[in-house]
Amino acid sequence: MQKLQQETDRLIQTVAREGDRLSGTDRRKFLRNGLTLLGGAAAAVTTGASAEEPFLPPAVPPWSKRLGPGVVTNPYGKPSPHEAHVVRRNVPWLTADRIASISFTPLGDLKGIITPSGLTFERYHAGLPEIEPQKHRLMIHGMVDRPLILSMDDLMRFPSTSMIRFLECPANGGMEWRGAQMDKLQFTHGMLACAEWTGVLLSTILQEVGVQKGASWILAEGADGAHMARSIPMDKALDDALIVYAQNGEALRPEQGYPVRLINPGWEGNTCIKWLRRLEIGDKPWHMREETSKYTDLMADGRSREFTFVQECNSVVTNPCPEKPLKAKGKYWIEGLAWSGRGKIKAVDVSFDGGANWRQARVTGLVLPRALTRFGLEWDWDGSPALIQSRAMDETGYVQPTYAQLRQARGTNSIYHKNAIHTWRLHADGQVTNVQIS
């Protein structure tokens, strides 16, 4: 940093000095050519003549010499074309086809804690249904006094609330149970997003229909071809489950369940039924396909755990990562994301030697319960190889386990709920690869 500052100061002084000496055409020529007089590397960074060369001030780039297009060129704004690489991606070999598949959030390119709606991972069991909102209805029935069928307009008349919460598929990182399989952060941790969700608390709707005595579970069912359905305990319904119609300030995107979905904050993304059409109130769980053959945890002794709803405390370093290698030795802001389905993140430690030594990172920005939380710390890279890890602790005191601890508790049959401490190997050339060290 200091070196860069000194170099910049020197260049600016030289420009001022040389510029003063010249006048008229000479001066203009000098400014146009920027610092070419300095020769060598400095000259290469001044003219912008080739694709990689910056326009070092005071050289004036072409975009400062003309008018740009006016307002409403993009009636709905899009990212800069230079950010075209920041997109959702899928892994073709992971699923048999794209209809029942998953795409991943590009975590390495994101800042702060909010995932842009258009980059939120997608998970479909039967593709993306095209729903006409004026024809869509949400039915609430079963053990209730006053069953209801709500239109979207009806739903919007109930008191509305917003919360920033993460959404994570419990299969996130599931491929890593078998060793370090995925080559990018996008694929090791990208079944993850965080948004401001707006809608009506499920408890508000339950009050309206009048839940009968003895009711203890709710079935939420989607309007997609899969009719995906999950049983939700009444406690969660009365706590913070939200019937959501908006994400990050605008209507839900079709991919995320337009026009209405369920969000169970901090719980398996799978329980957050999209394209929500039916809520049935009952006195026991339904044991649907997605809670028996899938979304259970097969333990070492052959038994399966059902209804493991909570997404436990987890974290990952997002810079550096395989997509964001380091360019040269020197100072960096090492950062990442931490989250816990049980509440707020309390602390995050970072190791550069595979867990032998730990440094406490700074938790930055908003710290919200069941939300992605940013952490970061300064690190002076001396150019030698490193094993970079992060280890998060949530407000309940739970600490993210090592792979050895996780496998000891859970065996190796699992797919879901992998939250072990992750390791990036930083190589001497700055490249980063995915490794597992116990």
Q: If you ran DSSP here, which 8-state letter would residue 237 be given?
A: H
In the list ligand MTE, Mo ion, none, the entry touching 226 (Cβ below 5 to 8 angstroms by class) is ligand MTE
CB of 226 to ligand MTE, least distance (A): 5
In the list ligand MTE, Mo ion, none, the entry touching 272 (Cβ below 5 to 8 angstroms by class) is ligand MTE
Rounded distance, CA 46 to CA 39, Å? 10
In the list ligand MTE, Mo ion, none, the entry touching 206 (Cβ below 5 to 8 angstroms by class) is none
The residue at minimum Cβ distance from ligand MTE is 222
267 binds ligand MTE (CB under 6 A): no
Query: In the complex with ligand MTE, which residue's Cβ is closer, 256 or 315?
Result: 256
Chosen residue from 209, 226, 237, 316 binding ligand MTE by CB under 6 A: 226
Residue 110-139 contact track with ligand MTE, rule CB under 6 A, x = bound: ----------xxxxxx--------------
Chosen residue from 273, 350, 372, 393 binding ligand MTE by CB under 6 A: 273
CB of 181 to ligand MTE, least distance (A): 19
Block residue for tokens 């909102």: 133
**Binding residues among 158-217 for ligand MTE as defined by CB under 6 A:** 167, 169
Chosen residue from 131, 272, 279, 392 binding ligand MTE by CB under 6 A: 272
CB of 319 to ligand MTE, least distance (A): 23
Rounded distance, CA 342 to CA 369, Å? 8
Q: 89 forms bridges with which residues in the sheet?
A: 104
CB of 362 to ligand MTE, least distance (A): 29
In this structure, the dihedral spanned by the alpha carbons of residues 62, 68, 69 and 72, taken in order and rounded to 10 degrees, is 130
CB of 408 to Mo ion, least distance (A): 25
**Binding residues among 51-80 for ligand MTE as defined by CB under 6 A:** none
Task: Give CA separation, 115 vs 82, 87, 163, 196, 319, in Å.
Answer: 19, 12, 14, 9, 16
Rounded distance, CA 438 to CA 422, Å? 10
Query: In the complex with ligand MTE, which residue's Cβ is closer, 273 or 348?
Result: 273
Q: Are 252 and 244 in contact (CB under 8 A)?
A: yes
Q: Are 387 and 435 in contact (CB under 8 A)?
A: yes
CB of 60 to ligand MTE, least distance (A): 45
Instruction: Determine the distance from the C-alpha atom of residue 372 to the mean position of all C-alpha atoms in its chain, rounded to a whole number.
Output: 8
320 binds ligand MTE (CB under 6 A): no
Residue at 384: amino acid letter? S
Residue at 33: amino acid letter? N
Is 282 strand, coil or helix? strand
Rounded distance, CA 159 to CA 157, Å? 7
Residue 150-169 contact track with ligand MTE, rule CB under 6 A, x = bound: -----------------x-x
Residue 403, Cβ neighbours under 10 Å: how many?
19
Residues at the site binding Mo ion, with contacts judged by CB under 5 A: 123, 169, 269-270
Rounded distance, CA 438 to CA 431, Å? 22
256 binds ligand MTE (CB under 6 A): yes
- Scanning 180-188, 197-205, 223-231, 316-324 for contacts with ligand MTE by CB under 6 A, the matching segment is 223-231
Residue 377-396 contact track with ligand MTE, rule CB under 6 A, x = bound: --------------------
Q: What does 169-234 look like in DSSP terms, one character per residue?
A: -TTTTGGGGGSS--SSHHHHH-SEEEEEEEEEEHHHHHHHH-BPTT--EEEEEESSTT--EEEEEH
CB of 98 to ligand MTE, least distance (A): 13
Rounded distance, CA 63 to CA 35, Å? 19
In the list ligand MTE, Mo ion, none, the entry touching 108 (Cβ below 5 to 8 angstroms by class) is none
Query: In the complex with ligand MTE, which residue's Cβ is closer, 189 or 346?
Result: 189
In the list Mo ion, ligand MTE, none, the entry touching 425 (Cβ below 5 to 8 angstroms by class) is none
- Beginning with the edge strand found earlier in the chain, give each strand of the sheet holding 362-364 in spatial order: 314-319, 330-339, 373-381, 362-364
Which residues would be at the binding site for ligand MTE (CB under 6 A)?
Answer: 120-125, 167, 169, 222, 224, 226, 228, 255-256, 269-270, 272-275
